[in-house]
Amino acid sequence: MRLFTKIIIFLLFEVASHSLFGHEVRPAYLQIKEQSPNSYAVLWKVPRTVDKVLDIQPKFEKSFSLKEISPPRILEAFVLYTFQLKGEMSIPNSRLTIDQLNTTGTDVLVDIRLLNGEHHSFLLQPTNNSILIPDTPSKWNVAKTYIILGIEHILLGFDHLLFVLALVLITKGFKKLLKTITAFTVAHSITLSFSVLGIANLPGPPVESVIALSILFLAVEILKVQKGQSTLTSQMPWMVAFVFGLLHGFGFAGALQDIGLPQSAINLALATFNIGVELGQILFVLVVLMVMQLIRPILRTKHRMAKLMPYAIGSLAAFWLIDRIAGF
């Protein structure tokens, strides 16, 4: 039991640390916009923390020259660089490399807009930091890019995962769990779409605080159920999942707006990002169910250990709540 407790405390510490420095997992963003034949305005947005900026930069072929045209701008989670790129040839069929990307855990979303109306979107990753820019754009590249970004966002979005974990813990029966997860999915898909399309929006800091509060609420509900009390959440978890899911959708939208969307394929990018989020969520739920199946015999014999998880979830959610309110 002591070993199990130490493992939980260690995981809590790791999650709390990542939550404080969560901007490190945001992708960098490279926008290349053709202004005249073979001349491009380049916007380079690099993730940063309080005291560190990732040491990565775009590198083009020798036939291109890259010149910085204004001092860097320091934003909350990024440093913004602006360049002028000129070449002896058009940028399609040339090679783009992100130097030092393989030493980070960060992706780079590349967005290229040409004078002829063509629009390229693709993702460079630490394991694949170079690409020969294709001659013609591909919708499959857009879809693949935003599916990957959706999966990464949910798997690195520790607050969203903790909420899903709490839903799994409080929901009894596979059919009810399926209904609950579906309600959460539908709800955050609605507000994610509304926010990105400009139909409805909420300010980020209050949304993030209420997301932490939603996790704390579920932790308290789990403890009540463990004491034998019947609660609204235990009876109709799908309804609670739907209501809070609407708020979580605004949280997803904030992250997607930070990443950026290709203007010529907003609907495709939005749909595939949502698909990626759901794929990551399903993967997480399956892993949780398998782990619960493995530790169920232990929990049956040592009832105190069953309380450890909701207390851990609640403590971390309370920490996030205080930290996010203090950041207003």
Q: What local confidence, expressed as pLDDT, does residue 152 receive?
A: 86
How far is residue 328's CA from residue 323's CA, in Å, rounded to a whole number?
9
pLDDT tens sequence across 189-208: 999 999 888 888 888 889 99
* Beta pairing class for 95-99 and 57-59: antiparallel
Q: Which amino acid is at 318?
A: A
pLDDT over 80 at 4, yes or no: no
Q: In whole angstroms, how far apart are CA 285 and each of 11, 221, 288, 320? A: 18, 19, 5, 22
pLDDT category, 12, cuts 50, 70, 90? Answer: low
- Mean pLDDT (whole number) for 297-312: 74
How far apart CA 47 and CA 300 sit, in angstroms, is 45
Note whether 281 and 154 are within 8 A (CB). Answer: yes
Listed in order, strand segments (DSSP E) in the chain are 28-36, 39-47, 57-59, 64-74, 78-87, 95-99, 108-113, 119-124, 130-132
Residue 167 pLDDT more than 90? Answer: yes
Q: Which residues pair with 31 in a beta bridge?
A: 43, 111
Model confidence pLDDT, tens digit, residues 69-128: 989 998 877 899 999 999 988 999 999 999 999 888 889 999 999 998 888 888 999 999
Over residues 296-322, the mean pLDDT reads 80
Judged by DSSP in three states, 227 sits in coil
CA dist 46 and 212 (Å) reads 27
pTM metric for this prediction: 0.79
Give CA angle at 256 (32, 156), nearest 5°: 115
pLDDT surpassing 60 at residue 18: no
